[in-house]
């Protein structure tokens, strides 16, 4: 069973903000609108001497409140948009993704965000409400919001000063969290990187890309024929002498590469594979890493901590993991969001 922290202050403020996430549940102030499910009272039948009167028009629903020009205000408004477009559980996942990106100072790409123009509308309304402080507020978004989004249709949208702008469809993507370089593979499976000096994407000559990850200036990538490669200073080399099976994925953090293949987790760092290339853990469905330390969700939804060498939540059923510094954010299959304080080895219910 999880132990609960006695006070919310035990976790960073970026986590404590979750309980007041609107998700469309906070009613607008003012008189309540009539229920859409309650039929209007039937008008009395007019007498033969009186002309029939048209029933009064239904009152217009209250307008959506303008988003506050703060990070929390925009996130609250986005929570309602995500829930309306994608459903509550997917909206919670996206909310956690945005929080994790905020902890990385925006050096992240969030995927599956629905209609990006709806996000731009929320941002624009908050900027207008900021008035004379609009430039300062926009700078705050530039520092903490994800550098790029991948819409549900697979299109990449990159932050361009004050809004997200459409680039091109992608099949793989990542940002080097240490260097800030954005990489993406287009539909032709050619890898490109964004050159901030030129303000555009440039090819780096790599093709047949299936998956990619970048960390500390090194790009790791899987090709369509199963080769696992690394590229450093313009030179590519193969780091695994066997082909990687379909469905495998890469995860990289602070110079460490993780390969998740058929439930087996392998780890590569410093030019060598741990345990001579054999799995460091099996039955893994999802991993979130901080360098050599990682958390993993197994097939049953339980959470394992490599730093503690144990299951920190053996009874829950989780579907998502995110790191906020050294703290863990976990989303259950039933829509519960919990935070784990590694220093105290204790959980806190956040939503």
3-state SS of the chain?
CCCECCCHHHCCHHHHCHHHCCCCCCCCCCCCCCCCCCCCCCCCCCCCCCCCCCCCCCCCCCCCCCCCCCHHHHHHHHHHHHHHHHCHHHHHHHHHHHHHHHHCCCCCEEECCCCHHHHHHHHHHHHHHHHHHHHHHHHHHHHHCCCEEECCCCEEEEECCCCEEEEEEEEEEEECCCCCCEEEEECCCCEEEEECCCCEEEECCCCCEEEEEEECCEEEEEECCCCEEEEECCEEEECCCCCCCCCCEEEEECCEEEEEECCEEEEEECCEEHHHHCCCECCEEEEEEECCEEEEEECCCCEEECCCCEEEECCCCEEEEEEECCEEEEEECCCCEEEEECCCCEEEECC
Q: What is the pLDDT of residues 167-185, one digit of tens each?
A: 999 999 999 999 999 999 9
Indicate if the pLDDT at residue 301 is higher than 90: yes
User: What is the pLDDT at residue 12?
Assistant: 52
Q: What is the pLDDT of residues 149-161, one digit of tens each?
A: 999 999 999 999 9
Q: What is the pLDDT of residues 279-298, one digit of tens each?
A: 999 999 999 999 999 999 99
Indicate if the pLDDT at residue 307 is higher than 90: yes
User: What is the pLDDT at residue 66?
Assistant: 79
The whole-angstrom separation of Cα 195 and Cα 216 is: 17
Q: Kindly provide the b/e burial profile for residues 16-49, where b requires at least 16 CB atoms within 10 angstroms of the residue's own CB.
A: bbbeebbbbeeeeeeeeeeeeeeeeeeeeeeeee
The whole-angstrom separation of Cα 348 and Cα 338 is: 6
User: What is the pLDDT at residue 64?
Assistant: 60
**Percent of the residues in the chain that have a pLDDT greater than 90, as a whole number:** 79
Q: What is the pLDDT of residues 40-96, one digit of tens each?
A: 333 333 444 444 444 444 444 445 667 899 999 999 999 999 999 999 999 999 999
Q: What is the pLDDT of residues 94-131, one digit of tens each?
A: 999 999 999 999 999 999 999 999 999 999 999 999 99
**Average pLDDT in the chain:** 85
Indicate if the pLDDT at residue 21 is higher than 50: no
Q: With bands split at pLDDT 50, 70 and 90, how would you rate the model's confidence at 315?
A: confident
Q: With bands split at pLDDT 50, 70 and 90, how would you rate the model's confidence at 11?
A: very low
Q: With bands split at pLDDT 50, 70 and 90, how would you rate the model's confidence at 314?
A: confident
Q: Global pTM?
A: 0.82
């Amino acid at each position: 069973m999880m132990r609960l922290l006695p006070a919310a202050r035990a976790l960073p403020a970026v986590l404590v903000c979750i309980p007041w996430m609107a998700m469309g549940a906070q009613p607008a102030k003012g008189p309540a609108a009539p229920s859409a499910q309650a039929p209007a009272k039937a008008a009395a039948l007019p007498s033969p001497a009186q002309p029939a009167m048209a029933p009064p028009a239904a009152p217009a629903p209250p307008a959506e409140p303008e988003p506050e020009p703060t990070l929390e205000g925009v996130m609250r408004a986005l929570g309602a948009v995500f829930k309306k477009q994608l459903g509550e559980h997917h909206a919670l996942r996206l909310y956690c993704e945005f929080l994790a990106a905020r902890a990385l100072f925006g050096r992240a790409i969030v995927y599956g965000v629905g209609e990006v123009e709806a996000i731009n509308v929320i941002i624009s309304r908050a900027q207008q409400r900021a008035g004379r402080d609009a430039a300062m507020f926009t700078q705050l978004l530039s520092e903490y919001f994800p550098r790029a989004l991948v819409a549900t249709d697979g299109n990449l949208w990159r932050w361009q000063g004050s809004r997200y702008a459409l680039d091109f469809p992608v099949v793989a993507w990542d940002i080097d969290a240490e260097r800030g370089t954005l990489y993406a593979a287009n539909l032709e499976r050619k890898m490109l990187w964004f050159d901030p000096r030129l303000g555009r994407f440039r090819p780096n000559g790599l093709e047949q890309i299936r998956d990619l990850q970048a960390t500390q200036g090194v790009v790791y990538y899987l090709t369509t024929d199963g080769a696992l490669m690394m590229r450093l200073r313009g030179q590519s080399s193969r780091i695994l002498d066997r082909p990687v099976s379909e469905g495998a994925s890469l995860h990289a953090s602070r110079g460490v590469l993780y390969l998740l293949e058929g439930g087996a987790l392998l780890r590569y760092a410093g030019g060598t594979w741990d345990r001579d290339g054999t799995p460091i853990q099996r039955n893994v469905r999802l991993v979130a890493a901080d360098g050599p330390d990682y958390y993993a969700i197994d097939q049953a939804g339980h959470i394992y901590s490599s730093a503690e060498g144990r299951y920190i939540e053996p009874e829950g059923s989780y579907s998502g993991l995110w790191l906020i510094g050294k703290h863990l954010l976990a989303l259950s299959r039933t829509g519960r969001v919990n935070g784990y304080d590694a220093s105290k080895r204790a959980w806190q219910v956040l939503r």
